[in-house]
Amino acid sequence: MCPYELSGHELAASRLLLERVPSMIGRTELGSSRTADFISCFLALTACSRSRSAEQRRGTTEADVGTRPRSHSILTFSLHNRMRSTLRLLTPTLHSSPIRTSHSLPAALLQILRPTQVQPFTLTLSSAPIRFFTSTRPVMSSNGNAKITEGSWKTSIDKDSGEFKRKASQFRDWIMPDGSGPFPPAAGRYHLYVCLACPWAHRTLIVRALKGLEKVISVTVVDWHLGERGWTFTDSKPKCEMDPVHGFETLREVYENCKPGYDGNVTVPVLYDKETKKIVNNESSEIIQMLNNAFNKFSATPEQAALDLYPDDLKKDVDEINSWVYEQINNGVYRCGFARSQSAYESAFDTLFAALDRVESILSKQRYLVSNERITLADVRLFTTLIRFDTVYECHFKCNKKRISQYPNLHNYMLELYQNPAIKPTIDQQHICQHYYGSHKTINPTGIVAKGPSLDIFDVPHDRDKKFPIKQKA
């Protein structure tokens, strides 16, 4: 045990490294627990420069990082062998980084980790328990895994600015198209837990339908009401059912059954493996990539198998569009709705409507977001926000500068996607309205559900085929 101050050099290196986390997460070479691997590497890097001699002595990378005497925070971790090879690969980053200022831990950790949306409990590694202690009380889960239950990590609202900050998902395993890894593609093995109101879960239902995987991946729809117990199962509301896999009453139990002591957010969608009884992934942006390319041999038709919503030649453009559409539109409506200060709300509002103008401009020149010919994951991701906009976000989240129906191209684009025979059945207005107006008591204390128009208003002809006819391949 040799606690020490994290130096400016180490912090700067860590920050540099973490800036690269979002782009690294999508890559396969870091193994199945990519986020965990990466964060472990970050921690290792911060510690390694000081503990190299200890490493040599013990034959393992093991270090204690902390600040004293002010916060008495001690971070203890061990690194298993798989991490060590990655670490070696990344070590040059540490040495080439500039020296900046010194911070105290955990404030420094928060500062570094928060912009990347990586939560501290992503540190959890089954074979390498990580412990985190604070000066006030040790925080340990029952299985010895790391978690931080104090401070701003627990809340989605920034205390100073009143801004809403979405937390990162924690289950990030992958179903590989080639069958490698612990979760090979298979028909009937995987299950989706979704809420029909949730735009993130909706993405997964749309891709499942477009790819013809309805008979391959089963689905359970949770109760639209998000109450004190989180997501619950019911069989007394349309399209909902009790948990068919375990018979649990709440989704939290599914998380806890998979990871005892889990105390993070219990969110939908969840991609679940009925065979190993593990949550594979709870991050919609990754689940849709898996549905897009891992299950092609099980698609209902050859056309659906061939459909690629994230083709190699467009990947870069899809990623680029997603990066700002996510932050400014998908999450932007939530940043308006959940803001706790006028300035946070107005800033999110201005950003949102500037981004909608930007999308409108793109769609005035081509049929879909990244291509005139092909729908991609970028369209799926934008659509789930658009379809909720005029009926929920405008009123409930105060996104009321303009309606989508006032943007000619965006509106017609939305109509086209809405009328797609695979997409239409995935939309449920009752679930959408009941959930938002009924569940967010801080925004709508009466729980009165705005009656609004029915979705029939979207059953009018759109102009996209006339405006941007798709050239048939010879």
Ligand X SMILES: N[C@@H](CCC(=O)N[C@@H](CS)C(=O)NCC(=O)O)C(=O)O
Binding site residues, ligand X, CB under 6 A: 169, 195, 198, 200, 226, 230, 265-269, 282-285
* Residue 79 or 309 having the CB closest to ligand X: 309
Listed in sequence order, the residues at least 6 apart from 52 whose beta carbon sits closer than 8 Å to its beta carbon are: none
* Residue 118 or 266 having the CB closest to ligand X: 266
Shortest reach from residue 423's CB to ligand X, in Å: 18
- Quick check: is 336 catalytic? no
Q: Could you give the angle at which helices 8-19 and 34-58 cross, rounded to 10 degrees? A: 150
Listed in sequence order, the residues at least 6 apart from 315 whose beta carbon sits closer than 8 Å to its beta carbon are: none
The helix/strand/coil state of 33 is coil
* Residue 397 or 407 having the CB closest to ligand X: 397
Q: 10 Å Cβ neighbour count for 266?
A: 20
- Quick check: is 334 catalytic? yes
* Residue 252 or 402 having the CB closest to ligand X: 252
Is 168:118 a contact under the CB 8 Å cutoff? yes
Q: 10 Å Cβ neighbour count for 381?
A: 26
Is 149:137 a contact under the CB 8 Å cutoff? no
Which residue type does 391 have?
A: T
d(CA 117, CA 206): 25
Shortest reach from residue 283's CB to ligand X, in Å: 5
Active-site residue, selected from the candidate residues 198, 240, 258, 399:
198
Q: Which residue is nearest to ligand X (CB)?
A: 267
* Residue 103 or 172 having the CB closest to ligand X: 172
Handedness of CA 407, 409, 415, 417 (dihedral sign): negative
* Residue 198 or 415 having the CB closest to ligand X: 198
Shortest reach from residue 50's CB to ligand X, in Å: 35
* Residue 13 or 433 having the CB closest to ligand X: 433
d(CA 348, CA 327): 10
Active-site residue, selected from the candidate residues 255, 262, 272, 334:
334
What phi-psi label fits residue 31: left (phi over 0), alpha (psi between -120 and 50 degrees) or beta?
Answer: left
Shortest reach from residue 226's CB to ligand X, in Å: 6
Shortest reach from residue 231's CB to ligand X, in Å: 6
User: Residue written as tokens 């959940």?
Assistant: 338
Shortest reach from residue 281's CB to ligand X, in Å: 9
d(CA 444, CA 442): 6
DSSP state of 274: T
User: Up-side HSE of residue 351: CA atoms within 13 Å toward CB?
Assistant: 19
Joined together, the tokens standing for residue 55 give 């490493």
Shortest reach from residue 470's CB to ligand X, in Å: 30
Cis peptide before 238 (omega within 30 of 0): no
d(CA 106, CA 74): 9
User: What amino acid positions are annotated as catalytic residues?
Assistant: 198, 334
